[in-house]
Amino acid sequence: MNLNKSSNVAYIQDLIATHASKISFMVGNGINRYYHEASVSWSDLLLNLWNNNTEENKITYIPEGISFTEFFDILEIQSKKEKNLGGEIQKQVQSAMQLWKGSAEQNHLLQKIRSIKAPILTTNFDNLMQQTMQLKMYKIVTTPFTDYYPWSCYYGTEQLTTPTAGFGIWHINGMIKYHRSIKLGLSQYMGNVAQARKFIHKGYQNLYAQDAVWNGSNTWLDIVFHKPIMILGLGLDETEVFIRWLLIERAKYFKKTKTTQKGWYIEKSTSRSKISEGKRFFLESVGIEIITLDNYKELYVDIWN
């Protein structure tokens, strides 16, 4: 063993190697902050949206005590525009993110995931990962398409027959290719929940019917319920309503069907970002093991070497 390697880095590497044939990854905005800090600022984008769409109450920072999703709903209330503000803001987000540039440095991490043919679920709207990897967009062909919820679309190198069949990047909360898919406000995330509930619980081919071809089998939801998931670069605090709800549904599914898939949450421990007692209680209760690393380099570089 490399004596300079922390024990948890080696542990995560062993987990990835052991579960390589089935593992999936859920990746949040942390990868952008690590590799694109100089050019990508979600907070700056939010402030620009606020100041461009309101006449009064100009602000220079986002105050503590409000989530980003709530911020967008408050923006809609305070906006100087009366009609179709949601769609207009989605277009503004789309235009701003299209200017963001990727970094080739992250390709080592992404190529490692691609080499084991593992799918990536991302909460990010931007196309930085697929841009740096020069990926094409594909669609699971047997699924009806809606640009509000393009959950059967992914970026990859080949056409897959099912979402769990190989490598692809799947956008959970929307993608900039389709501005109406971008979920910004809390009310829009509740729409995500309603859409997912239809796949999971409605009809005779719901998730619990134990049919391989269930309602969501051609969407990224199939990855959530039928693969081990390693979560990284994602805050997953109490404002992540949709993802937390999915993890609850996942745990309920395993309990009722007496099946299981492993899950891990990778965090960086500092006095500032130490995981809260409530967050730890939630993750462990839904079957997610928490693994702590010392710094971001271990998370985004060392694991993948």
Residue pair 246/196 in contact by the 8 Å Cβ criterion:
yes
pLDDT in tens, 24-37: 999 998 888 887 65
| CA dist., res. 110 & res. 105, Å (int) | 10
Q: Which helix (H) or strand (E) holds 120?
A: strand 120-122
Q: Which helix (H) or strand (E) holds 299?
A: helix 296-300
| CA dist., res. 237 & res. 53, Å (int) | 28
Q: Which helix (H) or strand (E) holds 137?
A: strand 136-139
| CA dist., res. 71 & res. 177, Å (int) | 23
Would the pTM of this model clear 0.85, i.e. be above it?
yes
Dihedral of CA atoms 234, 237, 241, 244 in degrees, nearest 10, equals: 70
Residue pair 137/159 in contact by the 8 Å Cβ criterion:
no
φ, ψ at 226 (rounded to 5°): -130, 15
What value does the mean pLDDT take over residues 102-126? 91
Q: Which helix (H) or strand (E) holds 47?
A: helix 42-53
Residue pair 254/261 in contact by the 8 Å Cβ criterion:
yes
Which tokens in the block code for residue 237?
A: 């605090």
Residue type, 71: F
CA distance from start to end of the chain: 13
Q: Please, which residues bridge with residue 24 across strands?
A: 229
Percent of the chain with pLDDT over 90: 59
> Given this model, what pLDDT does residue 141 score?
80
> Given this model, what pLDDT does residue 121 score?
98
> Given this model, what pLDDT does residue 270 score?
61
Residue 269 vs residues 8, 90, 112, 180: alpha-carbon distances, Å: 12, 34, 24, 36
Q: Is the pLDDT reported for residue 54 higher than 60?
A: yes
φ, ψ at 49 (rounded to 5°): -60, -45
pLDDT in tens, 191-206: 999 999 999 999 999 9
> Given this model, what pLDDT does residue 142 score?
75
